[in-house]
Structure 1
Amino acid sequence: MVAEIRTALVAVHIVLAIVWVGGVLFIGWGVYPAMKHLPVGRRREVFRALMAWVHGPFTAAGTGVILTGVLLGTALGPIRGWSDLGTAYGRIWLTALIIAVVTVVWGSTVGYRLSMGIFRDDSLWSQAEQGDDRPLKRAMGRIAAVESAEVAGFAALIVCMVLLG
């Protein structure tokens, strides 16, 4: 029975990770480049609506990945006490936990707040609509730079998961 519960929890963990990581990457590498082809005003509307809509589900999915990972490592895994964190598995598991928490917090606070602040900045968008899009391009570059920390977190988590086997 425990094996079946563990298998089901692994499936939930993987699905939540796909939603979280895949969603963030799809917006950054799929939606964002496509939006450059929309008129400036429409692009702003879509970005604001999209970010407001996905913020909660992506944060929930990332939090779900963390919670299922904790259960898979402890209650349904090899970590039974503090001393187990000194094992190779324990160190990698703890590293993954820290990376995941930092990544969720970074994306849901720093990245989201910066993005929404830029999407609300009327002067950037009206200046771009009037033909000078350099400040808007710089601001969008800041979003890409800040959000790249999430991508780095995802890459580090994948390395940890591969090492955990």
Structure 2
Amino acid sequence: MREIVLILHIFLGIIWVGGILFIGWGVFPAVMKMSYQSQRQFLTSLMRWSHPLLTAAGMGVGITGILLGAILGPVKSWDFLWNTAYGNIWLAALLVGGFTLLWGIGIGYRETMLVLTDDYFWQEAEKGNGKPLFRQLFRIAVLESFEIAGFLVLIILMMKI
């Protein structure tokens, strides 16, 4: 049973992290070659479609991580959690993973959708003034970098377990 949950944990992690990285580093740069109107329509559709799936994958990673550590693993008491290296790393991973997921849901997605649905930035870009839109897209990239940092910390923690 543990092996099945571990495979599911890894698979969901690949979907969550890989999906976000692919959108940010693969799709987003390619879309920048489209017209502003096409960019906006495509990115809005992509975000609305992919966000629930990537959120579900992230939640699945958290649930399977809890199962692997506490139900099917060695974390059986508060004492073990606080006083062992495994318990400390597992708790850190749980906290970092939860923060990363909540950041993506509450900040990354919300801020991205605010920019995509704000007519001002896109109308200015269509008129030839792309600076306001570029600043907002750069701000989103900076905000999303916190999610990427969370993924890197999670990978490092998982390598220690």
TM-score surpassing 0.5?
yes
Matching residue of 1:23: 19
Q: Which residue of 2 aligns with 1:12?
A: 8
CA distance in 2, matches of 1:29, 1:84: 40
Task: Give the counterpart letter for 1:112 in structure 2.
Answer: Y
Corresponding residue of 1:120: 117
Give 1:152 deviation, angstroms: 0.1
Give me the whole-angstrom Cα distance separating, in 1, the residues matched to 2:3 and 2:44. Answer: 38
The answer to whether the aligner puts 1:78 opposite 2:57 as a matched pair is: no
- The 3-state SS of whatever aligns with 1:78 is coil
TM-score for the superposition, normalised by structure 2: 0.98
CA distance in 2, matches of 1:116, 1:75: 37
How many aligned residue pairs are there? Answer: 160
* Equivalent-residue separation in structure 1 for 2:70 and 2:156 (angstroms): 20
Q: Which residue of 1 aligns with 2:97?
A: 100
Equivalent positions of 1:123-142 (< 5 A) are 123-142=120-139
C-alpha root-mean-square deviation of aligned residues, in Å? Answer: 0.5
Give the AA of the match of 1:34.
A
SS of residue in 2 equivalent to 1:74:
helix
Q: Which residue number corresponds to residue 54 of structure 1?
A: 50
TM-score normalised to structure 1 length = 0.96
Identity of aligned residues (%): 47
Match of 2:41 in 1: 45
**Aligned-pair CA distance for 1:109:** 1.1
Distance 2:78 2:150 in 1: 25
Query: How much has 1:92 moved relative to structure 2?
Result: 0.4
- Aligned equivalent of 1:33, options 11, 29, 47: 29
Matching residue's letter, 1:116: M
